[in-house]
Structure 1
Amino acid sequence: MIGIADPSQAETDLASGTLTCPSCTGPLQPWGHARARTVRDHGTTTVALRPRRARCRTCRGTHVLLPAVVAPRRADTTAVIGSALLASARGAGYRRIAAELARPLSTVRRWIRAVRDPEHVEWLRVQGVLWLARVDRDVIADLAPQPTRLGEALTALAAAAVTLRARVAPHVPPWTLIGQITRGRLVGRPVPARPG
């Protein structure tokens, strides 16, 4: 799975051969589509997806280009999950968050529990700081301290998303950029770093 912030740009890059394989860096080419699915957004809105598949011309591996507006294997958009985490970082309980988002208690509780792991929360914070270091190091010094580690992680991710949006992708929503920055693992386990 390759997370993409802008599906139309990814389609252009795929057609021109500039999108590369994460396994071998060979050029990817279009290879049909993955299964269509519908994901819940805020309120009663849904997002219909039919992600593009790509195949590497070099290693012949296939990949799904998943828009970062959604997270892998989740029934809700990154924005909905992020809103729940933000409310939790501000002190709201999972019952209140579930009621406000009109989501099952068990779903919201699972999201909140997923970010209780200190290693994952630190990984989220580091992802935000790394992206800020690439785009605008001066923003890192302006990050305000937060009362919780989750609050610090979300602040770093939000600063990175807002900075990226201002400089690189003005038409991409901030939560989608956060989905891209976290590689779809806002509430999932972090991806191990690749050697090299």
Structure 2
Amino acid sequence: MFALVRRVDLAEVIGAALVWKASGAGARSIAAWLGRPVDTVRGWLRRFERRAEYVRVYFTRLLVDTGVDPVPPALAATSFAAAVSAVVGAWRAAVSRWPDIGKVSPWLAVTAFSGGRLLSPTWP
């Protein structure tokens, strides 16, 4: 899987937007960096924000269940940043157990982990 359900852009593009937002960037600057319409980027960010706590819990559990020596993500300034941290942490935990997963980006792996539904309103 390389794309999220009902999204035209690749998972890596959306993932980059999520990471930049977690770092404090705004939708306009993210859209400019990615060369995407502001409304599209804003839609991704809003959808993720609405699901952030569910995403954080799901991927923190995945991190703890799969990691060889799991380290839960550090506290983050926002629920959005905490969710992104948990997503990347789960990827790192999976890589610690199955190194070949490291051959793909965190966002491709996360797309597979979520069945492509990371931004879906009914997931997890």
Short-chain TM bin:
0.7 to 0.9
User: Where in structure 2 are the equivalents of 1:46-195 lying within 5 Å?
Assistant: 67=1, 69-117=2-50, 120-136=51-67, 138-141=69-72, 143-168=73-98, 169-191=101-123
1:162 partner letter: R
Q: Which has the higher strand share?
A: 1
Deviation larger for 146-155 or 179-188: 179-188
1:153 to 1:137, Cα distance in 2 relative to 1, 3 A: farther
CA distance in 1, matches of 2:68, 2:95: 15
Give 5+ residue unaligned stretches, structure 2.
none
Which secondary structure does the structure 2 equivalent of 1:146 belong to?
Answer: coil
Normalising by structure 2, what TM-score?
A: 0.87
Task: Name the count of aligned residue pairs.
Answer: 122
For 1:173 and 1:131, the matched residues in 2 are separated by 17
Identify which of structures 1 and 2 has the higher relative contact order when contacts are C-alpha pairs closer than 8 Å and 6+ apart: 2
TM-score by length of 1: 0.57
TM superposition shift of 1:105:
1.1
- Cα RMSD of the aligned pairs, angstroms, is 1.7
In structure 1, runs of 5+ residues without a counterpart are: 1-66
Of the two, which has the highest radius of gyration?
A: 1
Report percent identity of matched pairs.
34
